[in-house]
Amino acid sequence: MRVSMDIELKDVPGQLLLALNPISELKGNLISVVHHHENHTPRGLIPVQVVFDIKPENLEDVISRLEDSGVEVARVGEERFLEHIAVILIGHIVHTDIQDTIASIDRTGYAEVVDLSLSMPCIDNPSSAYLKIDAVGKKEIKDAISVLKNVASKKDLVVIEPIETEFI
């Protein structure tokens, strides 16, 4: 599981290493560390944001070890969705039940529609919608788009995906 954690450190040498050791010892994989050395929290501590992957059963041990060593744990949150994509739907979106279209993606359990912007120029004309979809991984994004395309096909909607380009 990917975890985002805000911690607060004393402004003395070795504190960052002290904070990162429990993550390493419990087989966590660091993704990013943002150390705001020039900033201070209201308690006079240095704010640090850490993102890491770890087995769910080890997270409480990491938190306990940090707190036992004097590191303040200000916030812990799981980052479930790692991949994002935006698509456009065109057609009679509202009349074909946009709620059902969104639910078809949300029901997968690995992807969700997290943003929707809808344009309806006239009741008899096609609408357009911008959908932002988040998923747990690249494969799941592709699977969610397949689900959306399947639903769109049945409802006579057009799905426009972003153009993927590879630079050499």
The pLDDT tens digits for 104-157 are 998 887 788 989 999 998 888 999 999 999 887 788 899 999 999 999 999 999
State the distance between the two ends of the chain, measured CA to CA, in whole angstroms: 32
> What is the pTM assigned to this prediction?
0.55
**Which domains, and CATH codes, for the chain?**
2-78 (3.30.70.260), 83-160 (3.30.70.260)
Residue 55's H or E segment, with its range, is none
How distant, in Å, are the alpha carbons of 86, 87, 124, 152 from that of 93?
16, 14, 11, 9
The pLDDT tens digits for 42-67 are 888 998 888 888 998 999 999 999 99
The pLDDT tens digits for 10-32 are 999 999 999 999 999 999 998 87
CB burial readout 66-75, b (16+ within 10 A) else e: beeeebbeee
Give bridge partners of residue 133 from the DSSP assignment.
Answer: 85, 113
Query: What does the DSSP 8-state code read for residue 79?
Result: -
How many separate helices (H) and strands (E) can be counted in the chain? 4, 8
Q: Which two tokens stand for residue 81?
A: 């969705």
Quick check: 33 pLDDT over 60?
A: yes
Q: Which two tokens stand for residue 75?
A: 């916030």
119 — phi, psi (to 5°)? -120, 125
The pLDDT tens digits for 76-101 are 886 666 788 999 999 999 989 999 99
